[in-house]
Amino acid sequence: MTQVLVIGAGPTGLTAAVELARRGIAVRIFDKRDGPSPLSRAVGITPASIDLLTPSGAGPAIRSEAVRFDAMVMHQGADPILTLPLNFDDRSTVYGLPQDRTEAHLIDALARCGVTVEYNRPLTNYHVHGDHILADFGQHIHIEARYLIGADGSHSRVRATAGIHFDGHDLPGHWSIADVMSKTWPHKDSFAGYMLPGGEVAVVVPMASDRYRVISSLPDALKALPVTMEVDDLRRTSEFTIQVRQAERYRKGSVFLAGDAAHVHSPVGGRGMNLGIADAADLAARIAAGDLEGYEDTRMEVGEQVIHGSERARRMIQSTGAAKLVFQTAMRGLNHSESAKHAIVHQLLSG
């Protein structure tokens, strides 16, 4: 019998599988897609994630391919009002890499442990029988395991089958994304955020040499920018909605939730993938140690903090009227204090 079944081969499921496999735990990982996703949602990777992924070799591989942000520059319209420097110590680096490349490095690390992702395997149901789980993948495929990890994203089948509520709300409206190539964009190594009239926002994030991700709360990310961006190649446009939700529990007996299956929030702060990687690394270490008691409490508390922090930041960035004025005045004031700016960066990247 396999010890652990991981459902979902996004960054969370891959991290769980890698961290179990490198400790010699028998693990199988399944995904309903027919192969690795070519799409990238997350870009920003924190030093904490790199540290967690270092023993498997995935961390150094990600770090050597990723771009390294120099600064985060916030603008009111087109005017810069706050520059947060990065790279001033080993906890203040943000790496940028398209999510599909991060996943590719995790898949390589998994292969080094002799495990491959089993694609075209959608979990349809599972049943708990005493101390083991029988997972059903349709077409008469049933697999037995001691533990089941639901790393199957925000619409988690594992969570639904366990009857675990996903409490929270959906934010109104659609956000837009454009992935572009631009040789002339001036902020080659900086994250650039733009606060626009009416509480709207736009950001430009470097992903690779001359490649950028533009995101906005307005329907057309490129048109939303208050400055001109010369686009040499428009690789992809897309849109997404934002949910702010957390599972009411992360564990039901031998079934565990991690990553977006357990929590979702806005991309402000760029924490979702990093949080999922941390959940998965924690859970794998506990399974290997045979000490699972603390997983739910520990990770639910961290998840709650990240969701609140991300929502607080989003509300400030999207504030209007007097609240916006206060927030922008405070931002301008921060420019004069290096120690305050360093503290904010550490806070943004903690965990």
Ligand X SMILES: Cc1cc2nc3c(=O)[nH]c(=O)nc-3n(C[C@H](O)[C@H](O)[C@H](O)COP(=O)(O)OP(=O)(O)OC[C@H]3O[C@@H](n4cnc5c(N)ncnc54)[C@H](O)[C@@H]3O)c2cc1C
Which residue's CB is nearer to ligand X, number 30 or number 185? 30
Q: Cβ of residue 207: shortest distance to ligand X, in angstroms?
A: 10
Decide whether 135 or 331 has the Cβ nearer to ligand X. 135
Secondary structure (3-state) at 54: coil
To the nearest whole angstrom, how small is the minimum distance from the Cβ of residue 326 to ligand X? 27
d(CA 39, CA 57): 23
70 or 260: whose CB is closer to ligand X?
260
Helix (H, G, I), strand (E, B) or coil at 28: strand
- Asked whether the beta carbons of 114 and 25 are under 8 A apart, the reply is no
Contacts of 182 (CB under 8 A, 6+ apart): 210, 212, 229, 230, 231, 232
In the complex, least distance from residue 260 CB atom to ligand X, rounded to whole angstroms: 4
Which is it for the CA torsion 125, 128, 129, 134, positive or negative? positive
317 vs 323: CA distance, rounded Å: 10
DSSP 157-210: HHHHHHT--EEEEEPSS-EEEEEEE-SS-S-TTEEEEEE-GGG-EEEEEEEETT
Q: How far is the CB of 159 from ligand X (least distance, A)?
A: 10
Beta bridge mates, 251 = 256
Rounded least distance, CB 275 to ligand X, Å = 7
Number of neighbours of residue 155 by Cβ within 10 angstroms: 11
Q: What backbone phi and psi angles, to 5 degrees, belong to 202?
A: -145, 145
CB of 337 to ligand X, least distance (A): 27
Q: Which residues in this chain contact ligand X in the complex, by CB under 6 A?
A: 7-13, 30-33, 41-44, 99, 122-123, 151-153, 157, 177, 215, 240, 259-260, 267, 270-274, 276
Using the minimum distance from each CB to ligand X, give the nearer residue, 196 or 273: 273
Which residue's CB is nearer to ligand X, number 10 or number 59? 10
Which CB atom, from 20 or from 324, has the smaller least distance to ligand X? Answer: 20
